[in-house]
Amino acid sequence: MPEMTVIEAVREAMREEMVRDKAVFVLGEDIGVRGGVFLATDGFLQEFGPERVIDTPLAESSIAGVAMGAAMHGMRPIAEIEFADFIWPVFNQIVGEAARARYGTDGKMHVPMVLRAPYGGGVRGGLFHSQSPEAYFAHTPGLKVVAPATPYDAKGLLKSAIRDDDPVIFLEHKRTYRLVKGEVPDGDYTLPLGRADVKMSGDDVTVITYGLMLHHCAEAARALADEGIGVELLDLRTLRPLDREAILDAARKTGRVLVVHEDTEALGIGGEVAAIVAEHAFDHLDAPVRRLAGPEVPAMPFSPPLEAQFMISSDQIATAIRDLAAY
Amino acid sequence: MVFQVELPQVGESVTEGVIGKWLVSVGDRVRKYDPLVEVITDKVNMEMPSPVAGVIARIVAPEGETLPIGAVIAEIDADEGQIGQIAGAPAKPADTLGSLIQGVAVGPTGAANVPQQGDQPPPGKSGSPGRYSPAVRRLAQERGIDLSKVRGSGIGGRVTRKDVEGYAGEQEASDGPGDRRVPVTPVRKMIADNMVRSASEIPHVWSTVEVDLTGLVALRDEIKERFRADSGHSITYLAFAVSAAARALHEHPMFNARWGGDHIILRGRVNIGIAVAVPDGLLVPVITDADQRTVAELAAEIDRLTGAARTNELRPQDVQGGTFTVNNTGALGSMLSGPLIVPGQAAIITTEAVIKRPVVVAADGEIAVRSLMNLCMSFDHRLLDGSDAGAFLKTVKASLEAIGPETALDSPLQAGD
């Protein structure tokens, strides 16, 4: 199997879907001539032409609005928001309209669109190129929110998102783009949305996470294996709908649960996971569910030392796992 | 003063770069911001400016090399006063941050919530004896455990789920008054493992026939003294039983076989194991090619193997390669057995006690005293069915019942009627 980066997996998923289905097209800022600011659509303009690879004005609400209108009329748009930090103008289009279209028309209309957005920090991006917007969208019924961490998952999940008949927010962590490499099978395959994946198996502490933090958690888990602490590492992969069964199975296995995410803590994904565990696996809990999340400050700082402090490190994760194992 | 030049961050998602052409050589004098080297990434190509003024002391990274961001690519012997100006650029985050966050009062949204390693009390501090987690309470209830007796290994002596599981395990294995434990010998362990495998893997079926050994008893009574004097071995019923079984295995090869999951392996040789009781347990030495041997040779081999088993002198090859097993449980007085098949074989037979009993003799309806023996068999129902077992037992029975004064010991047993 060829090894590729996350960005290459994303690119290949979109390219294969565009070849497979004429209804699939891409639109966004700088995605055509420039090939995308992260080169996700590099070469697409030459291969598919300007009707299917559309450079848009710098107006995110129109990107989402155009995509939504096209989707309601039989197309399958992949709209790119250049950085998730610029996603807020689409909030009305996506949360107010797209998420409710099927429900509001009693199933007569639906919106098979994907909104891709590079997100996350640790890339020297500062306040306006580092944000994690997942909690805002994951709160909304009618949307699906996907956040893969590996090239294999990115490709299989993006294909499923493109083929899904309802709006999917597809969040790609910028730092994983070129940092994370992995084997990806040649050709067509899909992975189901809404399914978490056990990435490592262990008996002592369950760690539930997603995105870049998966790799920090895995690093911590590998270090702790030498201390005799076994970590069950669950990658959520899809943040809405959450894979309740997988979360509960993983929680019941060890009775000790740590949820890790880069996004800030209050009212985040970790709070929802913790609530699911507390409600449905109470009798199996051997320790309080613990969260390790970004600090409660408004944005990721630009200063490199401050940015490093904002990001959850594998050392912090290891300490939290150790504390939980000892409880 | 030597300044180490690091590969700079050149784009938001870039984590590594390829060193292109070096634009300077060792010994060159450079000013700050003079181009040093071409750096190529899949996002951008750039000429990296020199961060300091000085003389190129060393070029670390060769052209064409792929390096992570932050790797040292060159060293510059920097001019006086240069380092101070650029200090802080390559600073290591952790060093400066401690004082920044801990030493300086930060506004209300700031430091209080920045997770410092170890500054949150471990969640366990509130746990104290008498307070149990839901998992611990549930387990204790399910298994009827008094939690006050469980030693806690968690923070502050807290009882954990693993403590309860460990305690429950000990309890289940614990002894009653007067009980004592003896260690398991390696032989015992091996027998235990094999028998568990047999009982759990093989669907056993049992079958028994009654064999009239009157002819064999008479023959043996007549020749046993002379046989011992001539050969130095005793002639046992077992030798005849093994010979009869070996014959039958020839006629019914599916009994000399093993189950292979999606196929059945018919064994090429007839190697018959015989069970020998020893102080530690049980050994099963193997008579190789039992079908090739005369009754007298079988008697001699049985004598040798049982002797060697009891004196612990069996060689490894003496206990390997069995394809079928005969167990003389009759020697212990048993009249009926349900033996377990040796894993990897298809069946096992036992020869039970030979007992004189009045029976109706079929030929003329008269009652006569005859020497009778039960021949019991367990067979693997995956390979074999009841009709096969009936045919096999019938063959063995016929061979044994055909024995009379004329039966030769210097050949394998002949077929019965």
pLDDT, tens only, A291-320: 999 999 999 999 999 999 999 999 999 999
B contacts of A128 (beta carbons < 8 Å): none
pLDDT at residue B120, as a whole number? 42
β-bridge pairing A76-80 and A24-28: parallel
Residue A97 is classified by DSSP as I
Mean pLDDT score, A136-152: 98
Give the separation between CA B55 and CA B75, rounded to whole angstroms.
9
* CATH node for B188-401: 3.30.559.10
The single-letter code of the amino acid at A91 is: F
Mean pLDDT value across residues B311-329: 89
Give the pLDDT confidence score for residue B415 in this predicted structure. Answer: 72
Q: Which of A10, A306, A309, A312 to mutate to test the interface with B (most CBs of B within 10 A)?
A: A309
CATH number of A197-326: 3.40.50.920
Residues of A in contact with B136 (CB under 8 A): 286
Which tokens go with A77?
């748009």
When pLDDT is cut at 50, 70 and 90, the band that residue A257 belongs to is: very high
Cα A256 to Cα A235: distance, rounded to the nearest angstrom: 16
Pick the CATH number of B2-88 from 3.40.50.150, 2.40.160.20, 2.60.40.10, 2.40.50.100: 2.40.50.100
Please state, in angstroms and rounded to a whole number, the distance separating the CA atoms of residues A6 and A179.
8
| Active site annotation includes A129 | yes
Minimum mean pLDDT among A151-155, B74-78, B175-179, B244-248: which range? B175-179
A222 Cβ under 8 Å from any chain B Cβ? no
Distance of CA B405 to the CA centre of its chain: 52
The pLDDT confidence band at residue A162, using thresholds 50, 70 and 90, is very high
- List CB contacts (< 8 A) between A123 and chain B: 12-13
Residue B370's CB is within 10 A of a number of other CB atoms, namely 17
Cis preceding linkage at A57, omega within 30: no
User: Cα–Cα distances in Å, from A51 out to A32, A48, A54, A115?
Assistant: 10, 8, 6, 18
Contact A250, A282 (CB under 8 A): no
The per-residue pLDDT for B89 is: 43
Worst-scoring range by mean pLDDT, A111-125, A157-171, B148-162, B336-350?
B148-162
Residue B376 pLDDT greater than 80, yes or no: yes
Query: In which band, very low, low, confident or very high, does the pLDDT at B417 lie, cut at 50, 70 and 90?
Result: low
Mutation pick from B6, B7, B12, B113 vs chain A, by most beta carbons of A within 10 Å, is B12
Neighbours of A37 (CB within 10 A): 21
Instruction: Please answer yes or no on whether B97 and A125 come within 8 Å at the CB atom.
Output: no
pLDDT exceeds 80 at position A58? yes
How many whole angstroms separate alpha carbon B253 and alpha carbon B268?
9
Distance CA A48, CA B325 (A): 75
Instruction: Nearest chain A residue to B127 by CA: give it.
Output: A327
Q: What is the pLDDT of residue B125?
A: 38
- The residue-averaged pLDDT of A144-151 equals 98
Q: Does B99 contact chain A (CB < 8 Å)?
A: no
The mean of the pLDDT values for chain B is 83
Tell me how far apart the alpha carbons of residues B196 and B192 are, in angstroms, rounded to a whole number: 6
CA A60 and chain centroid, separation: 20
- Reduce the DSSP state of residue A3 to 3 states and report it: strand
Q: Is the pLDDT of residue B230 over 80?
A: yes
DSSP state of A92: I
Rounded distance, CA B113 to CA B64, Å? 45
Report the amino acid identity of residue A36: G
Strand boundaries in B201-343, DSSP class E = 204-212, 257-259, 264-266, 272-274, 276-278, 281-283, 286-287, 324-327
In sequence order, the 6+-apart residues with CB closer than 8 A to the CB of B184 are: B192
- Higher-pLDDT residue of B180 and A293 is A293
59-118 of A, contacting B, C-beta below 8 A: 118
**Within chain B, which residue ranges are assigned CATH 3.30.559.10?**
188-401
pLDDT computed for residue B113 by the predictor: 42
Query: Chain B residue with minimal CA distance to A316?
Result: B117
Q: Which residues are paired to A55 by β-bridges?
A: A28
Count CB atoms within 10 A of the CB of residue B81: 9
Domain boundaries, chain A: 3-183, 197-326
The CATH 2.40.50.100 domain(s) of chain B lie at 2-88
CATH number of A3-183: 3.40.50.970
**What DSSP letter does each residue of A122-178 carry, written as one string?**
SSS-GGGS----HHHHHTSTT-EEE---SHHHHHHHHHHHHH-SS-EEEEEEHHHHH
Q: What is the pTM of this model?
A: 0.58
Distance from CA of A155 to the nearest CA of B (A): 18
Interatomic CA distance for residues A285 and A255, integer angstroms: 4
| Element (DSSP H or E) covering residue B350 | strand B347-351
d(CA A261, CA A311): 9
What whole-number distance in Å separates Cα of residue B193 and Cα of residue A187?
48
Compute the distance between CA of residue B401 and CA of residue B417 in angstroms, rounded to an integer: 9
Contacts of A178 in chain B (CB under 8 A): 13-16, 42
Cis omega (within 30 of 0) on the bond before A241? Answer: yes
Contact yes or no for B235/B227 (Cβ under 8 A): yes
pLDDT at B278: 82
Q: Give the pLDDT score at A252.
A: 96
Q: Which of B13, B113, B154 sits opposite A123 (nearest CB)?
A: B13
Write the ipTM: 0.74
Q: Is B155 on the interface with A (CB under 8 A)?
A: yes
Q: How many helices (H) and strands (E) does chain A have?
A: 13, 14
Place of tokens 């969208």: A137
Q: What angle do CA B368, B370, B371 make, to 5 degrees?
A: 170
pLDDT band at A43 (very low <50, low <70, confident <90, very high): very high
B136 and chain A: CB distance < 8 Å anywhere?
A: yes
Question: What is the model's pLDDT at position B92?
Answer: 41
Q: Which one is catalytic: B79, B204, B250, B381?
A: B381
* pLDDT for B109 beyond 50: no
